Amino acid sequence: MPSVASRAGPAKAGPFFVRFTGRHGFGAALRLNHPAPAQYNSAMPDKYSTLKSVFGYDAFRLGQEEVIDALLSGRDALVVMPTGAGKSLCYQIPALLMDGVSIIVSPLISLMKDQVQALCESDVAAAFINSSLSYDEYLRTRRRAAAGGYKIIYIAPERLSREDGACSWLEGLDVSLVVIDEAHCVSHWGHDFRTSYMRIAPFIRSLPRRPVVATFTATATERVKADIEAALSLENPFCITTGFDRPNLYFAIEKPDNKMRSLKKHLARLKNRSGIVYCLTRRYVEDVCEELTANGIAATRYHAGLSPDERRENQDDFIYDRKPIMIATNAFGMGIDKSNVSFVIHYNMPKNIESYYQEAGRAGRDGGSAECILLYSYEDVKTNEFLIEKSVEESGSAELKEYNLELLKRMTFYATGTDCLRGRLLAYFGESPPNYCGACSNCMTQFESVDITIEAQKIISCVYRLKQRGRRLGKMMIIQILRGSRSAKIINEKLDGLSVWGIMKDTSEPAIRGVIDFLVLNGYLALSGGDYPLLIETEKSGAVIFEKKPLDMMLPKEEAALKTVASTAAAPAEAALFTKLKALRAELAAAARVPAYIIFADATLNAMCRKLPRTKAAFLEIPGVGAVKAEKYCEPFIRVVCEYIAENASS
């Protein structure tokens, strides 16, 4: 049975709202098209006002605005952005600003439900169509859609089949934009090919007017990108790949003697937070979950060996914060859009860095600080080798086996190295990050702050001395002078007569190079352009040699001293107020029958704690508060803030 539902937030009175109750019991408020909702047409709203009024944000994140502009100008797009980067906004804003309806194809039922709930919370007319809905609901949504009652419809790819009859009614709609989420599923070279994605291209062709086609994915190699472009016949698409860094994630690796003890220690430290514990096998999931629940920890489990009913139930327990800890294999997580996951612990090392980064990346999607901890042991390498062997026996491809073993080697290299973890991850994805991030366990334990004031003075003095002689030299020559080289060039140019010649003869060449790089990076020196860049002084140089400004630099420690992981998860600005706001949010969420984070993300509550809004205008300034939500929730939240301020003033 095909089915559908229209999702929505609390019911509203008024002539332009139609109320009905969906299968899950959420009250549904649908805004019909006559007259058109003010936020779409009146006074020509633009992307900025929509960003603020509907989503409550002041600024676009990296890449979002470019994608929105491309789509609004009628161009197709191929967007590769890491999980949590904010892909949804990239198509939701154009969908709201364009005429007609936008169709979002997504393979992920839970994600659809989430997104539609969130949109309806902001009074955007949205619905989804997938197998979780009854036939009645499906017909109801079709009727609304035909009457132009939606701006956004999420649909599962299975529903695009002609035999299903679902397609023909969609053909009758005024579709301006078709969005394909998880677009790598269309490629055989992607890690998750789905046959249902083969239905998308014929569907697009069947529409009376070719819509703008936007494709989104979190991971895609060049080969997969080419596949997506061809399979969906994108026309001169705007292509964008944004950076992979997730600055709010703290990365840690531990090699504990006893993983269970270490896990419990972390869970005790992370009490009251929601997180995922990934295990390599079903067996591990069972064991870990059993041990934790026996210890009174509210944990649930997920793996492919459970019945579909149990999987759904456990997933909901986790999403609705009834059980804040999820123990799972890699079968769990695709499409889980729970924004308040504040840690991901890997009980075992995964088989490759792609999987690791994707799973770890499920933490901190609301932008708040979150932790990703990998508990490594050598047995994990062995288990992975065994699993690779086994899967190869099934597929029979020796080439694939070599490939997977190579990926495993790189994962192991990551888990056992001593350099910056973020640096390693980003380098793996082809970026060139700095060698020290300051927010990973290796940076915290394998690096130390070194006073380089004297070294910096010597190097900058050398640049000044040369300048007095009217000379500019490159990094290599400066190092040679400082180390007292007698190369032909130095003798010929009489550079050995400089007072700075040989003043760093006891410092190694890489060490001097490292300090020079640091000085350039921090603006105490600069490099001229050209094929042979020359070192030149800057306006900050004088402070170092004349005012003896002290300088510290982070350097890898000679001796590795592993310390325990320090929590970087910032405590909410006002813990007591945060607790109160959370309680209020839980109440409102229960009343609206949506997960708590749909009302406001933790990051939004935290901002309220910091800014203590007492007026509606101040409330609107909080990131994550849009016009509709301000209207709905301003009053109770401000009341709690005012009470809190009053209590603290009198005590």
Q: Does 337 bind ligand ADP (CB under 6 A)?
A: yes
Q: How far is the CB of 88 from ligand ADP (least distance, A)?
A: 3
Q: How far is the CB of 182 from ligand ADP (least distance, A)?
A: 10
Q: How far is the CB of 249 from ligand ADP (least distance, A)?
A: 13
Helices 64-72 + 87-97 axis angle, to 10: 30
Site string for ligand ADP, 72-111 (x = CB under 6 A): ---------x-xxxxxxx----------------------
Give 439 or 526: the residue with its C-beta nearer to Zn ion: 439
Q: How far is the CB of 366 from Zn ion (least distance, A)?
A: 22
420 binds, among Zn ion, ligand ADP, none (CB under 5 to 8 A by kind): Zn ion
Give 3 or 441: the residue with its C-beta nearer to Zn ion: 441
Give 141 or 339: the residue with its C-beta nearer to ligand ADP: 339
CA distance 82 to 373: 19
Determine the size of the site formed for Zn ion (CB under 5 A): 5
Give 81 or 101: the residue with its C-beta nearer to ligand ADP: 81
Q: Judge whether 112 and 128 are in contact, CB under 8 Å.
A: yes
Token pair of 505 as six digits:
């003869």
Q: Does 301 bind Zn ion (CB under 5 A)?
A: no
Which three-class secondary structure state does DSSP give residue 552? strand
Q: Judge whether 598 and 567 are in contact, CB under 8 Å.
A: no
242 binds, among Zn ion, ligand ADP, none (CB under 5 to 8 A by kind): none
Q: What is the Rg, in whole angstroms, of the alpha carbon atoms belonging to the chain?
A: 28
84 binds, among ligand ADP, Zn ion, none (CB under 5 to 8 A by kind): ligand ADP
Q: Which long-range contacts (CB under 8 A, 24 or more apart) does 531-537 make?
A: 532/474, 533/474, 533/475, 534/472, 534/473, 534/474, 535/463, 535/472, 535/473, 535/474, 535/475, 535/478, 536/463, 536/467, 536/472, 537/460, 537/463, 537/464, 537/467
| Cβ neighbours around 345 below 10 Å, total | 27
Give 111 or 443: the residue with its C-beta nearer to Zn ion: 443
Token pair of 544 as six digits:
């170092």
- Tell me the DSSP string of 421-462: HHHHHHHHTT----S--SSBHHHHHHEEEEE-HHHHHHHHHH
Give 73 or 522: the residue with its C-beta nearer to Zn ion: 522
Q: Does 159 bind ligand ADP (CB under 6 A)?
A: no
Please give the residues from 575 up to 634 whose contact with ligand ADP meets the rule CB under 6 A: 601, 623
Please give the residues from 350 up to 369 whose contact with ligand ADP meets the rule CB under 6 A: 365-367
Q: Does 464 bind ligand ADP (CB under 6 A)?
A: no
Whether omega for the bond prior to residue 35 falls within 30 degrees of 0, making it cis, is yes
Give 87 or 475: the residue with its C-beta nearer to ligand ADP: 87
Site string for Zn ion, 407-446 (x = CB under 5 A): -------------x-x--------------x--x--x---
Which three-class secondary structure state does DSSP give residue 520? helix
62: left (phi over 0), alpha (psi -120 to 50) or beta: beta
Three-point CA angle 503, 505, 510, nearest 5°:
115
Q: Does 339 bind ligand ADP (CB under 6 A)?
A: yes
152-155 and 5-6 strand pairing: unpaired
Q: Does 253 bind Zn ion (CB under 5 A)?
A: no
Residues contributing to the site for ligand ADP (CB under 6 A): 57, 60-61, 64, 81, 83-89, 337, 339, 365-367, 601, 623
Contact residues for Zn ion, defined by CB under 5 A: 420, 422, 437, 440, 443
